[in-house]
Structure 1
Amino acid sequence: MEKSSILSTRPEVLSVENIAKVRNRLASLGALSKALESCLDHAMLKFSREESCLQENARLVVRCEKKQLEFVSGQGESSIEVSTVQRSLHYKVQLPRFGETVKKSPCGHLLLSAENLEKIAAEIVCLREVTKGLKAGLEYAQSRFLQEPIRIQENCCMVIERDGRTLKLVSGDGQNYIYIYPNADGEIQYDIEFASFLDRFVRALTPTTW
């Protein structure tokens, strides 16, 4: 795969005003395609709605048509990516690192457990990262996860996507996969892929998952 071409050799300062300046500069140089303009406009719109604590300490990467633009504020601890996937605009924020109360695996993954989901929800509120959709997604994840057989709970990878935020938690080898996301109507969707026929069979025999 061809690497994205970098439009700037160093990160730009991250602010709504500076994203607009970069867009206008590219336009004056004839280097602003419709797709890249849409990405930058989308980045400005979404970023302008973020809390000041995120705006002042983040790294924003815009990827479009094999081009990449990077903006940084503060120490760049929060990560934001704007990209196009099948002509749709995507805005994703990697949630900041959590405190010591939120358990992690030796390799750094957030550990998947009902207790950890609850602690993450509490920390996100303190960090002002919670949104209405993400809060609902976490609550739904916790209630559904408790209904899963222990066999699934102890060997699972769960990804929660809501309001541009993504959370990934792993237990065991993470061989079963749970994906929680909004469908076309904005309702919470809960999909599960099983690692084996036995996992599927055990879950089918568990009354709480019916």
Structure 2
Amino acid sequence: MAQAILPEGAVWDLPPVILHPFSDPAGPDQLVESSRAHLMLEGILPMGGLTEDELVRRLLSGRLTEVKMLFYVGRDLERWLSQCAEMAARDADLSRAGVNAASFADLLVEHPPEKVLAKLTKWGVSDYKSIFSRALGLQAAFSQPPDFDFVTPAFIRHYFRFADQLWQARQSLQSFPALPPQQFRFELYASAEYARMLERQWEEG
């Protein structure tokens, strides 16, 4: 992958990445039950009188919740990629270098700014690469959050493997230049945090 040829010393400020909360009251409980079911199916925890079919159902319910959470993260990331691609199309240097949405996706997953990494760490997110890449991979396949009626149990149970492959396929669909990380800056916000920041700016403005 070639790196984009850009004016030395130039720096671009990208739109912020804004992530919205996933609102499913049953979500946390399903994730806990799914994790326990996985450990039971692996023989690490006793089955506690539950049948294998019951444990598989609990596992799949939690995994489907994970898929939906990633889907909504991916939707927010897609919005950011579209904003960045529009900005690149209007910028003579970026347009001339062939910068496109895949360039920004690669930047986000592989080389996010230190401030973004610090915030993710503060939020307790360690494997951000897997989260962002899988979220974008699922966006390549689904226009709506998937449900049991539309995907197979095998997909739900092993969704992370499918999502990893979808991410790789997505990035291979078009050639793109890699962006030098030191020349691009952006911030990461939770939606409520960003709204509060805007309110302060309006009050001060």
- TM-score with structure 1 setting the length: 0.23
Identify which of structures 1 and 2 has the higher relative contact order when contacts are C-alpha pairs closer than 8 Å and 6+ apart: 2
Pick the structure with more helix per residue.
Answer: 2
Pick the structure with more strand per residue.
Answer: 1
